Amino acid sequence: MDDIELLRVQLDILKREHRDLDEAVQALHDSGRGDLLTLQRLKRKKLQLKDRIADIEDRLLPDIIA
């Protein structure tokens, strides 16, 4: 497996994790059972994943100044 394929697999995994966290945050919020600290931690984790996703996407599709 080359580097590009490895990055694509990592990207898919991170996107799935981000989506799962988004659903968890929404479920906790909707149920009203989630405490503020837990929601903040999940949201922080989502932001970290989003940054890692953006980094990998930049590595896969670098900006080319024409």
pLDDT digits 0-9 by tens, 16-39: 999 999 999 999 989 988 789 999
pLDDT at res. 58: 92
Q: Are 25 and 42 in contact (CB under 8 A)?
A: yes
pTM value?
0.85
Residue 34: the pLDDT is: 77
CB atoms within 10 A of CB 2: 6
How far CA 25 is from CA of 1, 10, 34, 66, in Å, comes to 34, 22, 8, 41
pLDDT score for 64: 72
Predicted pLDDT of residue 66 = 56
Q: Give per-residue pLDDT as tens, 40-56.
A: 999 999 999 999 999 99
